[in-house]
């Protein structure tokens, strides 16, 4: 929707490759760099601790599979740089870090039967691919890595869904505290440096609330774009849940909010009076007495 505004470069740990896969690794590195990825390209002997430090600075890792067995203990590739890096990356798999396994030859036979064992061992946040083209592989990687993790927050019925930019959290907390004395309120502070997508949560929580309030103190530019997008996504003029912008007049002027006129109602008043203004609007829209 609009919350994933932090367009960070994906940083890829490109693991060493064994034997005949060296050429494929070189081609893949060129494609990754042309695609604008940050690449940590590692080849040669590194300690497990050094490898873990390098992997920890990345968003994902890529491991190229060939005929040398890097999976089974006792096999030629197990203690090779590629094997050590493969096992180190497995320790990092979580909601944020993904591990990509690329088998560009595609065929699984007696030369690389260990790949079948690797595929059986695949768990969440591990991606196996046997597309032959490094360009297609990188495009798939880009698509997967650009999908933001979704916020895991429970939805609950509320009178008011109170949303604010985390940069305004100090005064937002004060307003929220006063508002909670008179209404059942669910709140959300949006951190603009986060890659987490709150889209589904916002839409669901808004529908579970009687009214949505967007609070602003310093972050005027943010509230204008956010409020307009939320208004559109929630149904515009036909929305079932009313939206209201509450602005602190200490730092926001009527001129700042003129772009809201015609599609969204708002209040511009002192911080201490904002909860009262919200209550008046709530009563007006819900018929509460």
Cα 222 to Cα 224: distance, rounded to the nearest angstrom? 6
288 has pLDDT over 90:
no
Three-class secondary structure of residue 283 per DSSP: helix
Structure confidence at residue 1 (pLDDT)? 30
Q: Tokens 């180190």 label which residue?
A: 88
277 has pLDDT over 70:
yes
φ, ψ dihedrals at 56, nearest 5°: -65, -20
51 has pLDDT over 80:
yes
Q: Which residues contact 46 (CB under 8 A, 6 or more apart)?
A: 54, 81, 84, 85
Q: By CB neighbour count within 10 A (0-12 exposed, 13-18 middle, 19+ buried), where does 218 fall?
A: middle
Helix, strand, coil: what percent of the chain each, to 5? 40, 20, 40
pLDDT tier at 121 (50, 70, 90 boundaries)? confident
pLDDT tier at 282 (50, 70, 90 boundaries)? very high
Structure confidence at residue 152 (pLDDT)? 57
Same fold, 11-146 and 158-286: yes
Query: What's the CATH number of domain 158-286, 3.40.630.30, 3.30.470.20, 3.40.50.2300, 3.40.50.10140?
Result: 3.40.50.10140
pLDDT tier at 4 (50, 70, 90 boundaries)? very low
18 has pLDDT over 90:
no
22 has pLDDT over 70:
yes
Q: Across 71-216, where does the E strand assignment appear?
A: 98-102, 126-129, 158-165, 185-190, 209-216
Structure confidence at residue 5 (pLDDT)? 33
- Domain ranges in the chain? 11-146, 158-286
Q: Lowest mean pLDDT: which of 47-51, 122-126, 194-198, 248-252?
A: 194-198
State the chain's mean pLDDT as an integer.
86
Structure confidence at residue 2 (pLDDT)? 31
Among 223, 66, 37, 226, smallest CA distance to 144 is for: 37
Which of 215 and 124 is assigned the larger pLDDT?
Answer: 215
User: Tell me: the pLDDT tens digits for 72-94?
Assistant: 888 988 889 999 999 988 888 76
49 has pLDDT over 70:
yes
Does 11-146 carry CATH code 1.10.220.70? no
193 has pLDDT over 80:
no
- Give the pLDDT mean for 107-123: 81
Strand pairing category for 11-14 and 60-64: parallel
Structure confidence at residue 7 (pLDDT)? 40
Structure confidence at residue 196 (pLDDT)? 63
């Amino acid at each position: 929707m609009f919350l994933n505004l932090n367009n960070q470069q994906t940083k890829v740990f490109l693991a060493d490759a064994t034997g005949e896969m060296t050429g494929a690794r070189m081609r893949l590195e060129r494609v990754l760099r042309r695609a604008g990825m940050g690449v940590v390209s590692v080849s040669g002997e590194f300690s497990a601790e050094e490898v873990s430090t390098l992997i920890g600075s990345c968003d994902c890792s890529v491991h190229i599979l060939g005929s040398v067995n890097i999976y089974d203990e006792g096999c030629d590739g197990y203690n090779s740089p590629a094997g050590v890096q493969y096992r180190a990356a497995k320790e990092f798999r979580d909601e944020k870090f993904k591990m990509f396994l690329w088998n560009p030859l595609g065929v699984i036979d007696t030369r690389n039967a260990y790949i079948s064992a690797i595929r059986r061992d695949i768990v969440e946040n591990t991606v196996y691919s046997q597309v032959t083209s490094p360009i297609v592989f990188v495009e798939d990687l880009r698509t997967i890595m650009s999908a933001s993790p979704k916020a895991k927050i429970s939805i609950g019925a509320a009178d008011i869904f109170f949303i604010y930019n985390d940069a305004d959290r100090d005064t937002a907390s004060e307003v929220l505290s006063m508002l909670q004395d008179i209404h059942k309120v669910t709140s959300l502070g949006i951190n603009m440096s986060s890659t987490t997508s709150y889209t589904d949560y916002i839409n669901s929580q808004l529908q579970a609330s009687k009214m949505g309030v967007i609070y602003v103190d310093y972050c005027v530019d943010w509230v204008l774009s956010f409020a307009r997008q939320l208004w559109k996504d929630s149904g515009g003029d036909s929305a079932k849940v009313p939206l209201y912008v509450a602005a602190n007049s200490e730092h926001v002027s009527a001129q700042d909010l003129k772009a809201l006129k015609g599609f969204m109602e708002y209040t511009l008043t002192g911080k201490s009076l904002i909860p009262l203004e919200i209550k008046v609007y709530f009563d007006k829209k819900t018929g509460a007495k």
